[in-house]
Amino acid sequence: MLPLEGIRVVEVAQNLAGPMAAEILAHMGADVIKVERPEGDDARKWGPPFWKGVSPGFLAVNANKRGISLDLKDPKAVAWLLDFLGTADVLVQNLRPGSLEEMGLGPDTLLARHPRLIYCSVWAFGRSGPLKMKPGFEPMVQAFSGLMMMNGDEGGPPTRIGTSILDYGTGMWTAMGALAGLVQRQRTGRGYRASGEVPERHRTGSQRVVPFQGFETKTGTMIVAAGNDRLFAKLAAVVGHPEWAKDERFVTNAARVANKPALLELLETIFLTRTKGEWIDLLEAGGVPCGPIHTLPEAVTQPQAQALGIIQRLPGDDYDVVSLPLSFDGQRPPIRRAPPRIGEHDAEIK
């Protein structure tokens, strides 16, 4: 018998981090039910390559699950899901921040109705701070956190780590948060909210999703992450070429991958016409995920990092460290002790 047999997990998630968290629980024996909109998880289309019409990236994080299709724009489907969650132990979701609240499926509503539910939200920038409502993809968070600036050749441009290391790491932390929630529920009888906080070399880009990388502007590099066809249509409109969304070369992600050099050449020329700040303002107003590439010192001093409380000072010291990337009931566990000195607690324990 696997350790999580008898536990039901409902996954309302797509792309990588949320589905990976749910897959970890599925591998441990949980009954994971993946909820997809009728057209499916965007990650299904992340390619080429494809295996029987599905992206290997999707196949990698969605094993051992059952799947259902729901149109959550339909009030009847939302009402069904609200009732069905009464049969679940854990909810894993990584939809756009605020979207489940708009549907009436936010944590306050669900925990009032289903008090034993463990509600796990996976967001790019956490649940508090000035960027809490900002959507995000792997390259954006690698850039924002300073990780991209630490990678690459000396004197060369910032370079993305090839694999989606932040998405995978976030998936693992979210699964750990869910497991901690299940243990806590055994003690208290109540659930809670847990929040998880991101081949050929492609520098800041991706070989399976286009455009999904850094671009030079008049004043420096920014990241643009048009991770699906809807976001690409928004990007095309912002840069003054709405017709690209219907151009057979660019109409689907697979087409954009096949025609990547041509598309990147067009975008690179356009992005050099304005400053980084001007483009980020325009892209954000148009609903396109984007952001600056930070150095590590810039990243840790950002208002978002301060608001999240992710940087904490060691007790009794003036040294700052990165805290746990999880929050429980909206509170990040504090660092309670500095690392021990050799033999510091011998008398206490021996």
Catalytic (active-site) positions: 167
CB 137 within 8 A of CB 113: no
- Residue 244 CA, distance from chain mean position: 27
Give the helix ranges, DSSP H, for the chain: 17-27, 56-60, 75-84, 99-103, 107-113, 138-145, 165-188, 229-238, 253-258, 260-271, 276-285, 296-300, 303-308, 346-349
Say how far apart CA 312 and CA 323 lie, in whole Å: 6
Say how far apart CA 212 and CA 16 lie, in whole Å: 15
Burial of 40 (0-12, 13-18, 19+ CB in 10 A): middle
135-174: b or e for each residue (b if 16 or more CB lie within 10 Å)? bbbbbbbbbbbbbbbebbeeeeebbbbeebebbbbbbebb
